[in-house]
Amino acid sequence: METKWLEDFICLAETQSFRRAADARHVSQPAFSRRIQALEAWLGAELVDRKALPTRLTPTGKAFYEQALDMLSQINGVRAEMGTKKPAVQTAIDFAAPHTLSLNYMPQWLTSVQKGFGSFPVRLLNQNVHDAVMTMVDGGCDLLLCYHHPRQAVQLDTGRYDMLVLGRETLRPYARRLEDGSPEFSVLDQEAAPLPFLSYSPNTFFGRMIELILRQTRCTLAFDKRYETDMAEGVKMMALQGQGLAFLPESMVAGDVADRLAPADGGRPEWSVQMDIRLYRERPTAQRSGKSTVSRLWTYLADREHTLHGNESMQRSMPGMDTAAAAKQRQQYVGAC
């Protein structure tokens, strides 16, 4: 049984709607339903009366709701207590990261870091963006690696968490590359029949980024949705088979993949969106000092980013702030690092 199943069930009980609960948990509705079913299978009892509209709990579900609240409270309490009793000597660093970054960005970045900092063991939790952030909030990891965009911001308290911008990633449309180098499908082909489209589930991070792109282009194209998944890797593999047009981060279209997929936007900037790649940690306190390896690594990374980019990364991470506010937060940030 996973803790997030309890959190899902509590959210469902309080919203009385699979759709609203899935939105609140930042997952697709099918994925959310599967997690509720997994909890029911683990308990061996039905918790939700699926014949009722609006959604309501079964008598067993109502009884379990109170127990779920108690269980989650106890789990979080034990985790917090044990966090203060960790052995002083710890070397393994626990990362939480979404699947796309863990597969396409982290291996190269980690190799580069370890060349300068030295090697250290890593434990990696592959999750969606929302669950990775919640793992950080719940104290389940040392470092969080994730995407960030102002329209889909990571809401972490700047008074509690430190942040570094490691780089930027561009999401744009791709299609299978033809022999002449052109894409098999293109968003610029206004005369084409509905474009075969390989999409992400609506509540995924990339799904929301695509919605943003379509709004900024005021797109009037017709899309024929051929495939939908939570995983960018699945979308990429379908695009390689010529199944349709797919929006992918540039880091996924590298090496031999770049020879097989071509940008399908004609270089038009309105058909792409840039995202920060960010690293977060919980700021050490007297009560929760954290692992010494993490502190030394963070200092190294902060110095490296400052050397490479100066204040550019800090300025990018604070869109919409006036100069005085940005300067004040930069001062607080540098002091925290």
Give pLDDT, residue 337: 31
φ/ψ (deg, to 5) at 229: -155, 165
* CATH number for position 189: 3.40.190.10
Q: Which of 125-129, 188-192, 257-261: highest mean pLDDT?
A: 257-261
Q: What is the mean pLDDT of residues 93-114?
A: 92
User: Which of 245, 272, 299 is the last residue in one of the domains?
Assistant: 272
My answer on whether 117 and 74 are in the same domain is no
Give pLDDT, residue 111: 94
My answer on whether 261 and 298 are in the same domain is no
CB 256 within 8 A of CB 177: no
Range of the domain at 303: 94-167+275-336
In DSSP notation, 223-279 reads EEEEEEES-HHHHHHHHHTT--EEEEEGGGS-GGGGGTEEESSTT-GGG-EEEEEEE
My answer on whether 173 and 268 are in the same domain is yes
In DSSP notation, 257-269 reads GGGTEEESSTT-G
My answer on whether 194 and 234 are in the same domain is yes
Q: How does pLDDT run across 64-75, given as a tens digit for each residue?
A: 888 888 887 777
My answer on whether 189 and 263 are in the same domain is yes
Q: How does pLDDT run across 207-220, given as a tens digit for each residue?
A: 999 999 998 888 88
In a domain, 88, yes or no: no
Confidence of residue 316 (pLDDT cuts 50, 70, 90): very low
In DSSP notation, 28-78 reads -HHHHHHHHHHHHHHHTS--EETTSSS-EE-HHHHHHHHHHHHHHHHHHHH
In a domain, 285, yes or no: yes
Does the pTM exceed 0.75? Answer: no
CA 162 to chain centre: 17
My answer on whether 195 and 265 are in the same domain is yes
Q: In the predicted model, what is the mean pLDDT of the chain?
A: 83
Q: How does pLDDT run across 216-261, given as a tens digit for each residue?
A: 888 888 889 999 998 899 999 999 999 999 999 999 998 889 999 9
Residue 329 has pLDDT above 60, yes or no: no
CA 324 to chain centre: 30
Q: How does pLDDT run across 74-97, given as a tens digit for each residue?
A: 777 666 666 554 543 456 899 999
How many percent of the chain have pLDDT more than 90? 39
Q: What is the mean pLDDT of residues 90-114?
A: 89
Q: How does pLDDT run across 4-56, given as a tens digit for each residue?
A: 888 888 888 888 888 888 888 888 888 888 888 888 888 888 888 877 667 78
- Out of 138-142, 198-202, 319-323, which region has the weakest mean confidence (pLDDT)? 319-323
My answer on whether 39 and 187 are in the same domain is no
